[in-house]
Structure 1
Amino acid sequence: MHRVTLLAYDGFQVLDATGPAAVFEVAGEFGGGYVLTLASSNGGPVRSSSGLVLQTAPLAEVGPGDTLLVPGAESLRAAIEDEALISGVRAAAADGRRVASVCSGAFVLAAAGLLDGRRAATHWAAVAELKRRHPKIRVDGESIFVEDRGVWTSAGVTAGIDLALAMVGRDCGDELARKVARKLVVYHRRPGSQSQHSALLEMVTPDNRFAPLLAWARSRLGEPLPVERLADQAALSVRQFTRAFTKSTGLAPAKAVERLRVEAARAAIEAGAPSLQMVALSTGFRGPDRMRRAFVRHTGLPPSACRGERTLSGSTEAGPVPDETSV
């Protein structure tokens, strides 16, 4: 039997909790042995952001469980200032329970000190704030979910379903996870490394002065794109361009191009490209080894993960990769 506790608090996003709950419920119907409990710091009725009120048990009285999952919310101030709730989350982790968050629920795990030194995902719109508040976290604004040393985090809403399916796959095997996905009519194997959105859209807004340049570069990824060529296209000196581009986008030019290449390569692999060598050459990496290093830097996973050749978890297995800025 696997006991899952869903942690509620005032204003939580109901689908962040009920999406994963449906996965575990159906997994239980197929013999997965999951038992669900909805808890809050004090117990009793808790109102979600949609106005739905759910009855909860006091977290301290739920007893030891196997998985604790924290949903997100539009406003988390009350939750992260609730010492009983934060202490309960911290105690769950100390007891060896698997701890997870959906969307901005990562802020609750962060407040409990559980994400320091770990890679963690959250909704793309909350990435900058999580980085600002908790600089010790390696915030992953790309992946839809991440597992790092037993702590699971995911992006917004439906990514919580992907995370729960990955947990079922880990606990009960891939075939049972596939049955659950089929019954829920959801996609079974969205790898954790799958991007939440376009890297180009993340880097710039439409009115950014360098948006046309990035669109130009994105259409020429198979060609050499050194900083000199980018600066010439922008009609600036290399020094002026590098300073202005980095200030405007938050990325050095070489890193921006590399992210565009990773995004294009990932899309090609997921679409069924016949070989990694072909993908690497067509996206400007010049070879599979260079492409692999870029993938690990930006997603924590190798290119093969896009074909589902790894586990469902999206966990980080690769070690540190030397930085490379030449593109």
Structure 2
Amino acid sequence: MTRRVAILLFDGFDLIDAGGPYEVFLTASRLAERDGLAPQYEVLLVSSGGADAVAFGGMTLTQLRDAASIGAVDIAIVPGTVDVASAVADSVLASTVEGLLRSSRVTASVCTGAFLLAEAGALQGKRATTHWEDVDDLART
């Protein structure tokens, strides 16, 4: 059974936070296919409205899927960002994160992506972690 994985991209996201999980899931599928099995994961790069996303440092990713139109996914991943304050204040991004929370069986974040999950209420009453430099700020959210 192929599992659907959505990785949310937005302006200012950390490329390694999205690229790392992307490569892990693609490699798992490639290795399964090499062994004659069905691909294990369908990886979808998504954004709010399908808009292009400019990573921290300036790399632009295009041809993204609209997070609101992909339907149910097994796993949603929210990468981190250097500019946490701007990401958390972005109401369109917040709405997109909330939509992914509703449509995914499992939601995970990488690094400061935890702040976006906290803002959406997904971490209420749960244990979570982030980069050691930001862990005290996350505890206050």
Bin the TM-score by the shorter chain.
0.7 to 0.9
2:3 is matched with 2
- Aligned equivalents of 1:107 and 1:78: distance in 2? 11
Q: Name the aligned partner's letter for residue 28 of structure 1.
A: S
- Retained in 1: the 8 A contact 2:14–2:81? yes
Which has a greater percent of helix?
1
Deviation by residue 1:139-183 (Cα, 9 ceiling, x = unmatched): xxxxxxxxxxxxxxxxxxxxxxxxxxxxxxxxxxxxxxxxxxxxx
Paired residue for 1:113, among 121, 127, 138?
A: 121
Residue of structure 2 equivalent to 1:34 = 41
| Aligned equivalents of 1:67, 1:21: Cα separation in 2 | 12
CA distance in 2, matches of 1:92, 1:46: 17
Residue 65 (structure 2) pairs with residue 57 (structure 1)? yes
- In the alignment, the residues of structure 2 paired with residue 12 and residue 96 of structure 1 have an alpha-carbon distance, to the nearest angstrom, of 20
Q: Report Cα offsets for 1:227-246 as digits up to 9, x if no partner.
A: xxxxxxxxxxxxxxxxxxxx
Superposed displacement of residue 27, structure 1? 0.5
1:94–1:45: structure 2 CA closer, same or farther, 3 Å change rule?
closer
Task: In structure 1, give the amino acid aligned to 2:17.
Answer: D
Deviations 1:78-108 (A, max 9, x none): 3222233222322332335210000000000
Unaligned runs of 5+ in 1: 135-327
Among 92, 101, 123, the alignment partner of 1:93 is: 101
Aligned partner of 2:84 in structure 1 is 76
> What whole-Å deviation, never above 9, does each CA across 1:41-79 have from its counterpart, x for those lacking one?
122221101211101222112222111101101102232
CA spacing shift, 1:9–1:96, aligned 2, 3 Å: closer
TM-score, structure 1 normalization: 0.39
Secondary structure, counterpart of 1:19 in structure 2: helix
* Equivalent AA in structure 1 for residue 42 of structure 2: V
Q: What corresponds to 1:14 in structure 2?
A: 15
Cα 1:20–1:102 shift into 2, 3 Å? same
Report the counterpart of residue 24 of structure 2 in structure 1. 23
Q: Please report how far the alpha carbon of residue 33 of structure 1 lies from its aligned counterpart in structure 2 after TM superposition.
A: 1.7
Q: Write the distance in 1 (CA, Å) between the matches of 2:52 and 2:99.
A: 23
**Structure 2: segments with no counterpart, 5+ residues:** 33-38
Q: Aligned-pair distance for 1:111?
A: 0.5
Match of 1:46 among 53, 76, 94: 53
Q: C-alpha distance in 1, partners of 2:55/2:11?
A: 6
Secondary structure of 2:86 counterpart? helix
Deviation at 1:18, TM superposition (A): 0.5
Secondary structure of residue in 2 paired with 1:17:
helix
Please give the residue correspondences for 1:215-234 in structure 2 after superposition, counting only pairs within 5 Å. Answer: none
Q: Going by fraction, where is strand more abundant, 1 or 2? A: 2
CA-atom RMSD in angstroms: 1.4
Q: Residues 246-325 of structure 1 correspond to what in structure 2 (within 5 A)?
A: none
Determine which structure has more spread, i.e. the larger CA radius of gyration.
Answer: 1
* Partner Cα distance (2:59, 2:96) in 1: 24
1:119 CA drift (Å)? 0.5
